[in-house]
Amino acid sequence: MGNLNNKVAVVTGGARDIGRAVCVKLAQEGAKVVVNYFDSESDRDETMELIKSVGGEAIAVYADVTKQADIANMVAKTKEAFGDKIDILVNVAGGLFARKTIDEVDEDFYNLIMDVNFKSTVFVTKAFKPLFNQGGSIVNFASQAGRDGGGPGAFLYGASKGAVSTFTRGLAKELGPQGIRVNALNPGMIATKFHDDFTKDQVRQNVANATPLRREGKACEVADLVAYLAGPESSFLTGNNVDINGGLAFS
């Protein structure tokens, strides 16, 4: 407990993997956490139990963050539980869904990828912005794929995450005068269900072997970086896209 005592944090995609680790870490640091979930009540329940086990306080709110009505409901539930002010917003929600070549991509798949990875970040941020008073921190999730184009069949995912990176830089300029900092993370290969579902074991091993630290990252390591960017120690950092990839790619 400590750096984030009595702060209110909203985490989209907070029920599993990196989102879960972020929620637990922020709760450990003293924040009151709004855990957004979408498709798994069991993941939601496990995350809430983990937060409880570290002495944290949280609510779980269902929302499809590609839909503005659901986002508005999440804002209302946040106010109902914790008042009219938040201090931290972490936009974790995102997905790859499938690996497709340009010939395989249709309009529906394009909309799915862009909506989940980019539209959600824009409109969740817009909806929660009025709850930030002077100061606060927004942490977006881009990706190493946004820098290097992604692996095979992930060009559209990479493009959506590149949009998040640029959005982060532009919004940092817009919100800076209000003392609101906006940064993003570019995770590399992190051991999560995302890669369990979409990346072959041999590819994961090859990436690990090519990484100077010779391993995949852990969700808790990403969460530690989120907590740093959300807290007072990073008070003069904004507009950054911070790589966390074990040295596989350098800024």
Q: Which residues are catalytic?
A: 157
Token pair 């990403």 is found at 222
Candidates 153, 135, 136, 137; CA nearest to 145 is: 153
Query: Rounded to the nearest 5 degrees, what angle is found at the Cα of 138, between the Cα atoms of 117 and 109?
Result: 5
Q: Determine the Cα–Cα distance for residues 51 and 45; give it in Å rounded to an integer.
A: 10
How does DSSP classify residue 247? T
Q: What is the largest CA-CA distance in the chain?
A: 51
Q: Which two tokens stand for residue 182?
A: 């906006």
Candidates 214, 226, 216, 212; CA nearest to 196 is: 216
Task: Name the amino acid, one letter, at 77.
Answer: K
Asked if residues 219 and 192 have their Cβ atoms less than 8 Å apart, the reply is yes
Q: Which two tokens stand for residue 52?
A: 């409880």
